[in-house]
Amino acid sequence: MCGIVGQVELRGSVDRDRLAAMRDSLEHRGPDDAGSWLSPSGRVGLGHRRLSFLDLSSAGHQPMPSEDQRLWLTLNGEIYNHRELRRQLEARGHRFRSACDAEVVLHGYEEWGRGVLERLSGMFAFGLWDDQEQELFLARDRFGIKPLYYFADGDRLLFASEAKALLAHPAVPREVDWTAVCDYLVYRYVPSPKCIFKGLAKLPPACSLRFGREGTLTVREYWTLPPGDRQLPFDDAVTAVDAQLESAVRRHLESDVALGSFLSGGYDSSALVLYLDRIGYRAETFAIGFTDWPGSEHRYAELVAAQFGLEHHSRVLGPESLALVHRLARVYDEPLADISTVPTFAVSHLAARRVKAVLSGEGADEIFCGYTWQRDFMSTLGAPAAGNPSTNDLVAFYAGAMAMGSFDRDRLAGLLHPDLHAHLPDDPWWFYRGLVRPELPPLQRIQWLDLKAFMGELVLTKVDRASMANSLEVRVPFLDHELVELLFGFDPEVYFRAGEQKPLLRANLAGRLPESILQRTKQGFVGPDSYYQNVAWYRALLGDSRLVRDGVLQGPAVEALFATADHWRLWKVAVLELWYREWLT
């Protein structure tokens, strides 16, 4: 896992020191090594910070050239099927100089061109300069596990793993896109391709970008999921999932250093531990708990770790942990209003003391149907008797399910200063609306929204930044694309049962995990409500708000949030306030 940066100048040349400054602003993503490459013409520069897992030698140094130096690559991520691809490529005459997965991307691009993307299994974001074609090729993995930002102004294109690296370049203005602020208040995040900073963009998941010599910029989506219609007896599906999940976990262990695992004591992380045990891999496990709270998960995690005899580490947070939001304002260079950022950062910090990478259970709820709103949907709009839900109904349902202090247009107008009302969206739910795929079965329409919106934009961003701020790589076996394609290939009736949580996963865990774990209901990775519902804390933070002083928010509207103890909206405003102080003042 690493941090990457790059720059292509259409007229001028790349400043080596500025490129290094951009690169080193991402040191947390790769403290093990640093490298830069400037093209002989001086028009192209790539940079890389390395957190090394495979081939720890200098042979893995990046940016990495092809043998003939036609291609130069800077890659962030892991290619889990690199051995298989290496065999295929060697059979076609390619010769490798290292054991690194990055080299597979280079040779794969030589062999298959942009078609290499469809063959890669893993999490990645990379920039590849093709000197022959004079073209920059950027790509991001299917689910958006790894981030990629870019900036293009007609004279140049800059790209980086995090926005902070782009902001380190003097050509990039530090200005707010106020429409993105509206989006943030609506969604809790700024959806791709938009960015909170004007002029910056995020390459959406499963997309590639070409930047040619004339400054032409083309974005293409290279992967999607077809509708599922495969019928299979439940027991056969259980067996198929079992095999694929074991294979996914095994592939995610690809590393020359020891890996650990997050463990909450819920279904998903416990499943990972179970499969690790079956494979014979002894991973240290890491959990977060909260003081004076019966719902604290760390006790469940201890149960599971004890069952498998694993070395387990817990950290118990108190109310003081809310202070971490001050640090998270720097970690997340766009505002992200999810309360689990705090424990995610804390568990990453804990794990990073022992290991360089962990497995984590993200994605399981999306593909196995673990979310309450998926079941709510199937008992209402998605029920067979309800007919085919309209896009408007589906968007309204999903917006309601995701609410957590949502803002519609009127609420946005009430909160934002009138000077900014020109930026209010006509359709606050434009992002969800654009993701609705009427050709999918109703349940899969919701799952697709979960994969692309909630998970792709919020959950994976949350995990990537919190972990990488601690120089920790998080691997997510449930997002092995073959596993996802297997699940999505089924008719939803195969894997969905009303009133039952993740039946296909549960069936694979039954009898292998303590009953107290199997009986648990879904719980978010958050602390007690009392932590987040402390109006005095919000008052202390927002009572003299710079957003209000600077004419971004209307003071009486913020006061009204205090008066009504509107915690979720206060949380959003608090995160925005700290982000604003960190990056704009």
Partner 1 sequence: MSTEERFVFVACGAAAHLEALEIALRHLRKFADNPIVVVTDARRNALPIAHDRVIDSPAPEALSDAQAAIFLKTSLHRILDPEQRYCYLDTDVVAARPGVDQVFMYRFGPVTFATDHCRMRYFSPWAVDCGCLSDRRLAQAEALNALIEPLDACPPELVDKRRRLQTKLEAYSARYRSPAPELAARRETVRRLLERSAGHPLQRRAALLAFVLPRFGARLTRRLWRGGDPTQAANSVIDDALGTLPEFIRRELGFDWRLDERRGYDEAGRLLLTDVPFYVAKQSEFRFDEARDEWVDGAGERVFHGPCDHLRAAIAEDFGVTITDPDWQHWNGGVFLFDARPDSEAARFLDTWHELTLQSFDLPRWKTRDQGTLVAAAWKHGLQDQATLPREFNFLADYHKPGLSFDAVRGFSFAGRPGFVRPYLVHVYHHWGDRDWAVWRWLETRLEDQESES
Which residues contact partner 1 by CB under 8 A?
A: 31-32, 289, 291, 298-299, 302, 314-318, 320-321, 323-324, 326-327, 345-346, 349, 352-356, 471, 539-544, 559, 581
Q: Name the residue nearer to partner 1 (CB basis): 157 or 328.
A: 328
Minimum distance between the CB of residue 288 and partner 1, rounded to whole angstroms?
Answer: 10
* One-letter amino acid for residue 497 of the chain: R
Minimum distance between the CB of residue 468 and partner 1, rounded to whole angstroms?
Answer: 14
Q: Name the residue nearer to partner 1 (CB basis): 39 or 62.
A: 62
11-50 core/surface letters (b: 16 or more CB in 10 A; e: else): eeebbeebbbbbbbbbebbbeebbbbbbbeeebbbbbbbb
Q: Name the residue nearer to partner 1 (CB basis): 135 or 559.
A: 559
Distance CA 77, CA 121 (A): 11
Minimum distance between the CB of residue 543 and partner 1, rounded to whole angstroms?
Answer: 2
Minimum distance between the CB of residue 551 and partner 1, rounded to whole angstroms?
Answer: 16
Minimum distance between the CB of residue 485 and partner 1, rounded to whole angstroms?
Answer: 34
Q: Name the residue nearer to partner 1 (CB basis): 194 or 356.
A: 356
Q: Name the residue nearer to partner 1 (CB basis): 114 or 327.
A: 327
Minimum distance between the CB of residue 181 and partner 1, rounded to whole angstroms?
Answer: 22
Q: Name the residue nearer to partner 1 (CB basis): 208 or 269.
A: 269
Minimum distance between the CB of residue 570 and partner 1, rounded to whole angstroms?
Answer: 13
- Nearest in space to 54 (alpha carbons), one of 260, 256, 356: 256
**Torsion angle of the four alpha carbons 527, 513, 521, 253, in this order, in degrees rounded to the nearest 10:** 60
Minimum distance between the CB of residue 475 and partner 1, rounded to whole angstroms?
Answer: 16
**Torsion angle of the four alpha carbons 375, 476, 356, 352, in this order, in degrees rounded to the nearest 10:** -10
Tally of helices (H runs) and strands (E runs) in the chain: 27, 17
* One-letter amino acid for residue 557 of the chain: A
Minimum distance between the CB of residue 264 and partner 1, rounded to whole angstroms?
Answer: 13
Tokens 């303590």 sit at which residue? 514
Contact 188, 568 (CB under 8 A): no
Q: Name the residue nearer to partner 1 (CB basis): 33 or 493.
A: 33
Q: Which helix (H) or strand (E) holds 8?
A: strand 2-9
Minimum distance between the CB of residue 541 and partner 1, rounded to whole angstroms?
Answer: 8
SS3 (DSSP) at 380: coil
Q: Name the residue nearer to partner 1 (CB basis): 27 or 175.
A: 27
Q: Name the residue nearer to partner 1 (CB basis): 28 or 567.
A: 28
SS3 (DSSP) at 253: coil
Distance CA 422, CA 153 (A): 24
Q: Name the residue nearer to partner 1 (CB basis): 2 or 352.
A: 352
Minimum distance between the CB of residue 66 and partner 1, rounded to whole angstroms?
Answer: 29
- Nearest in space to 26 (alpha carbons), one of 74, 60, 86: 74
Minimum distance between the CB of residue 145 and partner 1, rounded to whole angstroms?
Answer: 21
**Torsion angle of the four alpha carbons 362, 187, 290, 581, in this order, in degrees rounded to the nearest 10:** 120
Q: Name the residue nearer to partner 1 (CB basis): 194 or 313.
A: 313
Tokens 């997340």 sit at which residue? 332
Distance CA 577, CA 547 (A): 6
- Nearest in space to 79 (alpha carbons), one of 49, 58, 57, 109: 109
Minimum distance between the CB of residue 542 and partner 1, rounded to whole angstroms?
Answer: 7
Q: Name the residue nearer to partner 1 (CB basis): 67 or 559.
A: 559
3-state secondary structure 317-372: ECHHHHHHHHHHHHHCCCCCCCCCHHHHHHHHHHHHCCCCEEECCCCHHHHHCCCH
Other beta carbons within 10 angstroms of residue 450's beta carbon come to 26
**Sign of the CA dihedral with 83 first, then 89, 91, and 96 last:** negative
Contact 408, 399 (CB under 8 A): no
CA atoms within 13 A of residue 290's CA, in its CB half-sphere? 21
Q: Name the residue nearer to partner 1 (CB basis): 134 or 291.
A: 291
